[in-house]
Amino acid sequence: MSQLWADISDLAFEAALAAYIVALVCYAIELASRRAVNPAEAMAGGRATLVRAGGSGSIDPGVIGRVESAPVAPWGVRFGRAAVVVTVIGAAANVISIVTRGLAVGRLPLANMYEFVSMICAAAVITWLIVLARTGARTLGTFVLTPVVILAVVAGTKLYVPAAPVVPALNSYWKWIHVTTIAISSSILLVSGAASVGYLLRARLERSGRLATKDAQPVAAGGVGGDQASPVRSRSMLSVLPSMVTLDRIAYRTAIVGFPIFTFAVIAGAMWAEVAWGRYWGWDPKETCAFVTWVFYAAYLHARSTAGWRGKRAAWICVLGFVSMIFNLFFINMVVSGLHSYAGLN
């Protein structure tokens, strides 16, 4: 019976991986099609304005609900919508994979790197879908799905281990508290990092003058304006990205959710370390790297409220935090040997 669940879990994971790859391709096609308007703004305005690439780009404010363009959505947008559908399917398959794995092993499926990374993928994609539902920033999908696909591929190929019980060192309820919260916070911060990468690319594009928009002010400008539809005049595929204001807001909103969870996860880890290793903090490589990540995100939140550090600098710090988290996730477990190295690899 448990072998059946394990097989279903493996199948579901493969399905999720395939769906993520398809979704990534669809998001990328939308991004590359260059013809789509920024969906965030188009949806915010309730109209399907089609701006021709290289056109004048002036948008009549229009009447709410009035459709100005042909009723058929352009190819890019259609791929974007397909990407969302496939993402939902992938997330569902991923969740099924996690649940059946749990049934197969009779415990929470978070005892090795494969299960951990699978959980991060699912949580990141679900976070992304929530962000998408609230902001409509669909073209950011490429930036979120890219790390997710990489993680899922690594999990499926390099990290995969068959379902098995846990070693005694991991047999503690602290494990579930610590690892679950680490996985959830990591995935939320992954979305934050993706938004910051998008922000930096967009900022570069706008600075280079290839995109004539007026809404390039970071959110610090006082909150007015927000997502005014920006006429897109550029042929760069980055021009379909959400506005900098939107990207900054996504990065911040996800960070202020992810950061306290991450803080809690580190504290829970310290309490577990007190129970398991005799001290709550010992500068084990994993602990050190978690501390570095924590400091980066603390710096990000401070930078965002410091004159002269908002906008690009803050976004860079957020990206650094994301990089150090991924580094912690893989490099520390695979290359540096420490107390955390039992997590499935030696």
Partner 1 sequence: MTHAPTRPAPAPEPAPPTRPGLIRSVLAFLRNVWRQLTSMRTALILLFLLAVASLPGALLPQWSLNTSKTAQYIADHPTIGPWLDRLGFFEVFGSPWYAAIYLLLFTSLVGCLIPRLWEFLGQLRAQPVATPRNLGRLPHHDRREVAGSVDEVADRITAGLRGWRLARRVEERPGGAAPAVTLSAEKGFVRELGNLIFHFSLLGLLVAIAVGKMVGYEGSIIVNVGSQFCSTSPASYDNFRAGLLVDGTQLSPFCLDVRSFDAEYTPAGQATSFVAEVGSQAGSQAGTDAWDPATLQVNDPLRLDGERVYLIGHGYTPHFQVSFPDGTVRDYAQPFAPTPNDPNFTSEGAVKILDPPGVTGDDVRKHQLAIVGIFAPTVFLHGGIMTSSYPAANNPGVAVDVYRGDLGMEGGRSQSVFSIDTNQVDKGALVKQARSNLMPGESITLDDGTVITFTGYNEWVSLQTSFDPAQGWALVFAVTLLIGLMISLVIKRRRVWFRLTPPPAGGDAHPVRADRTVVEVGGLARTDQAGYGEEFDGLAALADQPVVNR
Q: Where on the chain is the footprint of partner 1 (CB under 8 A)? A: 164-165, 167-169, 171-172, 174, 219-220, 222-224, 226, 245, 249, 252-253, 256, 259-260, 263-264, 267, 270-272, 274-286, 288-289, 291-292, 295-296, 298-299, 301-309, 324, 332, 336, 338, 346
Q: Which is nearer to partner 1, 202 or 286 (CB)?
A: 286
Cβ at position 164, least distance to partner 1 in Å: 6
Cβ at position 304, least distance to partner 1 in Å: 6
CB within 8 A of 165, min separation 6: which ones? 105, 107
Cβ at position 233, least distance to partner 1 in Å: 26
Cβ at position 229, least distance to partner 1 in Å: 16
What are φ and ψ of residue 249, in 5° steps?
A: -65, -40
Instruction: Give dist(CA 177, CA 155) in Å, integer.
Output: 22
Q: Which is nearer to partner 1, 61 or 223 (CB)?
A: 223
Q: Which is nearer to partner 1, 75 or 277 (CB)?
A: 277
Q: What is the residue-wise DSSP string for 97-159?
A: HHHHHHHHHTS-S-SSHHHHHHHHHHHHHHHHHHHHHHH--GGGHHHHHHHHHHHHHHHHHTS
Cβ at position 306, least distance to partner 1 in Å: 5
Token pair of 29 as six digits: 């096609």
- Rounded to a whole number of angstroms, the distance between the first and last alpha carbons of the chain is 30
- What DSSP designation does 308 have? T
Cβ at position 285, least distance to partner 1 in Å: 4
Q: Which is nearer to partner 1, 210 or 327 (CB)?
A: 327
Q: Which is nearer to partner 1, 68 or 274 (CB)?
A: 274
Q: Which is nearer to partner 1, 206 or 227 (CB)?
A: 227
To the nearest 10 degrees (0 to 180), the angle between helices 2-33 and 141-157 is 150
Token pair of 232 as six digits: 């897109």
